[in-house]
């Protein structure tokens, strides 16, 4: 059985579901009672997600300490730390270095959540932890991961928004009439895009509109400063 565990651990294409089946066959009764339902509830977890990492940890512990047992009937447990899988990848906090000021509150919250999840994950791994308490901790981990996913979603939405259009070379007016016409046109565009930014239904659309406002504002400055013939 240890060889099966070692094979799964070394498999670069291993899946959570296959690992859960292996855990069910080789884990001790105590370990199955504490973690099996949790792993089964998260059988679709991806690499780097907390349930996946916990499964690797437990199978490694079983393999290194020769604790694998022959398959037995899975005990029925009234309470266990079962929780829905959360699609959250661990990402380096260095990715937050370039986040703008207006998103700093989200950045700080992510930095608070990361060590909290790590501490709770370590706590739930305690084999002497009562099942009821393990279930509560599991639910807390999922809640924190969900919050972290939403925070990253807000930051990614900002990062993936189309960049503001670059200010191209502006053809300056040569007559006063053309200058007044251009100023009026640019002011209307600025007003229209400011309104579009306020009514935007997504962060991406809002950023696009604000980018156009910046573009037309810079053009307006150049046009207003242009010297023209009367």
Note whether 100 and 18 are same-domain residues: yes
Residue 165 belongs to a domain:
no
Identify whether residues 200 and 101 lie together within a single domain.
no
For residues 156 and 184, membership in a common domain is answered with: no
pTM of the predicted model, to two decimals? 0.36
Is residue 41 in some structural domain?
A: yes
Contact 223, 182 (CB under 8 A): yes
Task: Round to whole Å and give the CA distance between 19 and 55.
Answer: 7
Q: Is the same domain home to 97 and 138?
A: yes
Residue 169 placed within a domain? no
Per-residue tens of pLDDT for the chain, all 230 residues: 778 888 888 888 889 999 999 988 888 888 888 888 888 888 888 877 777 888 888 888 888 778 777 554 444 444 444 443 433 445 555 556 666 777 888 888 888 888 888 888 878 777 788 888 888 888 888 888 888 888 888 877 776 664 544 545 667 788 888 889 989 999 999 999 999 888 988 888 888 888 888 888 888 888 887 777 66
Whether residue 104 sits in one domain with residue 6: yes
Q: Is 68 contained in some domain?
A: yes
| Neighbour-count burial of 88, counting CB atoms closer than 10 A to its CB (0-12 exposed, 13-18 middle, 19+ buried) | buried
Domain carrying residue 156? 2-160
User: In this structure, is residue 166 part of a structural domain?
Assistant: no
Count the domains in the chain: 2
155 and 184 in a single domain? The answer is no
């Amino acid at each position: 059985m240890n060889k099966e565990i070692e094979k799964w651990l070394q498999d670069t294409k291993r899946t959570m579901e296959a690992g859960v089946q292996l855990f069910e066959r080789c884990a001790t009764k105590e370990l199955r009672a504490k973690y099996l339902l949790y792993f089964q509830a998260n059988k679709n977890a991806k690499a780097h997600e907390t349930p996946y990492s916990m499964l690797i940890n437990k199978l490694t512990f079983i393999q290194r300490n020769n604790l694998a047992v022959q398959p037995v009937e899975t005990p029925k447990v009234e309470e266990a730390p079962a929780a829905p899988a959360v699609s959250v990848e661990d990402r380096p906090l260095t990715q937050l270095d370039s986040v703008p000021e207006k998103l700093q509150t989200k950045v700080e919250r992510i930095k608070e959540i990361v060590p909290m999840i790590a501490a709770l994950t370590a706590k739930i791994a305690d084999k002497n932890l009562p099942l009821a308490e393990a279930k509560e901790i599991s639910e807390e981990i999922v809640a924190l991961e969900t919050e972290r996913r939403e925070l990253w979603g807000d930051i990614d939405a900002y990062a993936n928004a189309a960049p503001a259009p670059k200010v191209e070379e502006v053809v300056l007016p040569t007559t006063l009439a053309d200058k007044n016409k251009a100023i009026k046109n640019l002011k209307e565009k600025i007003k229209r895009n400011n309104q579009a930014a306020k009514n935007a239904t997504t962060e991406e659309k809002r950023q696009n509109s604000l980018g156009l406002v910046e573009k037309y504002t810079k053009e307006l400055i150049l046009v207003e400063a242009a010297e023209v013939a009367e």
